């Protein structure tokens, strides 16, 4: 009974994965077509600056991207076929399932991790001092994800120590400039 339940769960997961494959196949197809269009726009002959002679068509810069985009188009079609074969029909249940996932703690944590990385890489680094930026990133990460029993003061000291240690260690000992 239990093993049957596991098999049914696995079957459901596989069907979900195949549905996602169908969507991915469309994205991949669009990407490959765009890649092909840009490759076709590349010049067939390039004038070599030293001699002023045109290079042969066979060394055109677009040839290899054209080859890759054709293969990617074929692969996206195969993925679509695999998805169609393995997926059950799209239903309202799928939309409900996606909405339910968005409400889960895992999704919220995922968004937070990515958000903090964006904050650190794109906003803090390069704009404020490295040690301060690192402290803000680490402290916010640890405070958000800590179990309730963990004291904030302890986290504060850990973050200060790590930020200063990396700043000093990399900058002065390893002589690696920091952002």
Partner 1 sequence: MSGLSILFAQLIELLTIQNIILLCAGSSLGIVFGALPGLTAAMGIAILTGLTYGIEPSSAIIVLMGIYVGAIYGGSISSILVGIPGTPAAAATVLDGHPLALRGEGKRALSFATIASFLGTLFGMICLTVFTPLLQRVALDFQSPEYFLLAVFGVLICGSLTSPDIPLKGWIAGFIGLAASCVGLEGMHCYERYTFGNVSLMAGLSFIPAMIGLFGLPSIISILSQAQEKKIIEVGKGRGESLLKMLRGHIRHIFRSGCIGTFIGTVPGVGEDIAAWMSYDVAKRISKHPEKFGTGCYEGVVAAEVANNAAIGGSLIPVLSLAIPGSAPAAVLLGALMLHGIRPGPMLSFEFPHFVYEMSAILLLAAFTTRIFGLLACQVAVLVLKIPFFIFMPMISVICIIGSYALEINIYHLYVMFTFGILGYFLFIMKYPPAPMVLGMILGPLADTNFRRTLFIYNGSLDPFFSRPIAFVVDLMILYTILSQFGLFSKCYLVIKSYSAKMKSKMAKRKKK
Q: Which residues bind partner 1 (CB under 8 A)?
A: 17, 20-21, 24, 28, 35, 38, 42-43, 46, 48, 55-65, 67-69, 71-72, 75-76, 78-79, 82, 105-107, 109-110, 112-114, 117-118, 120-122, 125-126, 134, 137-138, 141-142, 145-147, 150, 155, 158, 162, 166, 170, 174-179
Residue 68 C-beta: closest distance to partner 1, Å: 5
Check residue 45 and give left, alpha or beta (phi > 0: left; psi -120 to 50: alpha). Answer: beta
Give the distance from CA 25 to its chain's centroid. Answer: 17
Determine the Cα–Cα distance for residues 139 and 136; give it in Å rounded to an integer: 5
- For 96, other C-beta atoms within 10 Å of its C-beta total 10
**Is 121 strand, coil or helix?**
helix
User: In this complex, which beta carbon is closest to partner 1, that of residue 46 or of residue 84?
Assistant: 46
**28 or 87: CB nearest partner 1:** 28
**Is residue 135 helix, strand or coil?**
helix
Shortest CB 2 distance to partner 1, Å: 19
Closest CB to partner 1 among 1 and 44? 44
Backbone angles phi and psi of 129, in degrees to 5: -55, 145
Query: Tokens 């963990």 label which residue?
Result: 150
Q: How far is the CB of 82 from partner 1 (least distance, A)?
A: 6
User: What's the min distance (Å) between Cβ of 13 and partner 1?
Assistant: 10
- Of 1 and 173, nearer to partner 1 (C-beta) is 173
CA–CA distance, 171 with 11 (Å, rounded to integer): 53
Name which of 1 and 49 has its Cβ closer to partner 1.
Answer: 49
């Amino acid at each position: 009974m239990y093993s049957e339940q596991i098999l049914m769960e696995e079957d459901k997961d596989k069907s979900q994965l195949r549905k996602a494959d169908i969507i991915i196949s469309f994205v991949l197809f669009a990407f490959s077509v765009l890649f092909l269009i840009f490759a076709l726009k590349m010049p067939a002959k390039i004038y070599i600056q030293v001699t002023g002679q045109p290079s042969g068509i066979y060394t055109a810069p677009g040839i290899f991207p054209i080859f890759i985009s054709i293969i990617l188009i074929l692969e996206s079609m195969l993925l679509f076929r695999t998805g169609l074969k393995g997926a059950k029909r799209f239903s309202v249940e799928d939309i409900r399932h996606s909405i339910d996932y968005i409400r889960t703690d895992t999704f919220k944590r995922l968004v937070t991790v990515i958000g903090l990385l964006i904050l650190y890489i794109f906003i803090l680094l390069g704009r404020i001092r490295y040690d301060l930026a690192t402290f803000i990133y680490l402290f916010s990460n640890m405070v958000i994800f800590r179990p309730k029993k963990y004291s904030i003061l302890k986290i504060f000291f850990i973050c200060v120590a790590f930020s200063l240690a990396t700043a000093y260690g990399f900058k002065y000992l390893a002589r690696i400039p920091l952002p």
